[in-house]
Every structure is written in structure tokens, then in C-alpha cells.
């Protein structure tokens, strides 16, 4: 199994690049944001637990997220590997992910970090909000809360993977293909 964490702030292009990674490497995509939106749409208990946090741009509590990821990994345990998108977003989630993968005798191969300046992020999110139907993309205040949550709680996750020597930094500004080429180079190193 080759398991990848795709890391970066809201609007960094994780979803776009995930699609390309899935097409090329056949990995199973686990996007916690997508999973929550699905639960919300279906009105499940989990969706109800997540809703107020998501509506305000805050992170959903760790135990709710970790339980959902555990279930998803179990459901797809025969996949050739996973690409985690929007997860882990706190150090507690990163520690839990290591433990979950260890149960399946596997681990994270690398963490790809997409770097994008804050002004560019805000521009992209507001632009996406025009067509995505996502309320959290249409309001500048909510976008600011999400970026603050990222800076306060998620940036330390990069340090966690730096200590494990698993971090690979990619410039997230440029053409979609050019960025994907850099990501591919990083992933290919783990198929040698
Ligand atoms: P983006 O990266 O564009 O902000 P996502 O689709 O990844 O958006 O997430 C949308 C919302 O879902 C987040 O603002 C947060 O409320 C919730 N969420 C998603 N993933 C996590 C996570 N790993 N931990 C906590 N909350 C999460």
C-alpha cells in the first residue's frame, strides 16, 4: 500500500490534484470534507454533529472525524492505497491516523504540502463560491475563520510529518499540470 497525505490550506487545490492522483495511481480518495458534506446531505447523526462547526468554518471535533475515517478505511481496506485529503487537520488526528494504519500493517509514505499565499487562497475560495454551492465559500468572514483554524491547528501537523521525515513541499501556484508533475515526482519515489 502507498498512502499519501495531501496537505494545504483551504483553497490550495487539494481536490483538483486529488482527482489527478486517483486517475494516475488508482488510490482510494478519503476527503473528510466530502464525507461530511455527504452525511449532511443525507441528514445522518454524524452530519448533524458536524453541521454547526462546518457552517461556522470551525474544525469538527477530532473524535467525530477520526471515527468516520476509521470506518472508511475499514470499508476500503483492499484498496491499493489511500490519498487523505483535508485530513489530518490536527496533531491528534495525525497520531490517530498512524494508529489506524498500523492496525492494517501500513503507514503514510509521504505528506505532500501545497504552498499558496493567503491572498491567492481568498481569491480562489470566493471564486469557487460562485459555482460550488458551498455556503462556507461565499462569505469572507467564514473564509477568514477557516484560514485561522488552518494556521492555529493544522500547521503543526506539518511539523509532525517533518519529524517523521515524510514531508515534500510543492508550490501550489502555477498551472494544474505543472503542479501535478511536481506531485507525481514526489509520489513516484515511493513506487521504486
Ligand atoms: P476546505 O479545505 O476547502 O476548507 P473541506 O471540504 O476540506 O474544505 O472541509 C470543509 C469543512 O469540513 C471544514 O471547514 C471543517 O468544518 C470540516 N472538516 C473537514 N475535514 C476536517 C477534519 N479533518 N477535521 C475537522 N474538521 C474537518
- pLDDT class of 158 with cuts at 50, 70, 90: very high
Give a yes or no: residue 103 inside a domain: yes
Ligand 1 in reach of 8 Cβ (< 6 A): no
| Number of domains present in the structure of the chain | 1
Is residue 192's pLDDT more than 80?
Answer: no
Q: Which strands, in side-by-side order, build the sheet including 28-31?
A: 28-31, 82-85, 3-7, 108-115, 167-171
The confidence score (pLDDT) of residue 69 equals: 98
192 CA to centre of ligand 1 in angstroms: 33
Mean pLDDT in residue range 130-150: 93
Tens-digit pLDDT profile for residues 78-121: 999 999 999 999 999 999 999 999 999 999 999 999 999 999 99
For residue 49, the domain's CATH number is 3.40.50.300
How many whole angstroms separate alpha carbon 142 and alpha carbon 46? Answer: 22
Q: Which atom of ligand 1 is nearest to the CA of 88?
A: 23
Cβ atoms 134, 128 nearer than 8 A: yes
Give a yes or no: residue 59 inside a domain: yes
Give a yes or no: residue 189 inside a domain: no
Q: Which domain holds residue 108?
A: 2-184
Tens-digit pLDDT profile for residues 144-157: 999 999 999 999 99
Q: Which residue out of 86, 120, 146 has the highest number of ligand 1 atoms within 8 Å of its CB and is therefore the one to mutate?
A: 86
* C-alpha grid cell, residue 94: 495525525
Give a yes or no: residue 112 inside a domain: yes
The confidence score (pLDDT) of residue 191 equals: 82
37 as an active site residue: the answer is no
Ligand 1 in reach of 10 Cβ (< 6 A): yes
Amino acid at each position: 500500500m502507498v498512502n499519501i497525505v495531501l496537505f494545504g490550506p483551504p483553497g490550495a487545490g487539494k481536490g483538483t490534484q486529488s482527482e489527478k492522483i486517483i486517475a494516475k495511481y488508482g488510490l482510494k480518495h478519503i476527503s473528510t470534507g466530502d464525507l461530511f458534506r455527504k452525511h449532511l446531505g443525507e441528514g445522518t447523526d454524524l452530519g448533524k454533529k458536524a453541521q454547526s462547526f462546518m457552517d461556522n468554518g470551525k474544525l469538527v471535533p477530532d473524535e467525530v472525524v477520526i471515527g468516520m475515517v476509521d470506518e472508511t478505511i475499514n470499508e476500503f481496506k483492499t484498496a491499493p492505497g489511500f490519498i487523505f485529503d483535508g485530513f489530518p487537520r490536527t496533531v491528534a488526528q495525525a497520531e490517530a491516523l498512524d494508529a489506524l494504519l498500523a492496525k492494517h500493517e501500513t503507514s503514510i509514505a509521504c505528506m505532500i504540502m501545497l504552498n499558496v499565499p493567503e491572498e491567492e487562497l481568498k481569491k480562489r475560495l470566493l471564486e469557487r463560491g460562485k459555482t460550488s454551492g458551498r455556503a462556507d465559500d461565499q462569505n469572507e468572514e467564514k473564509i477568514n475563520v477557516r484560514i485561522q483554524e488552518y494556521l492555529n491547528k493544522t500547521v503543526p501537523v506539518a511539523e509532525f510529518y517533518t519529524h517523521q521525515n515524510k514531508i515534500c513541499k510543492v508550490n501550489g501556484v502555477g498551472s494544474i499540470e505543472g503542479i501535478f508533475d511536481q506531485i507525481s515526482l514526489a509520489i513516484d519515489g515511493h513506487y521504486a
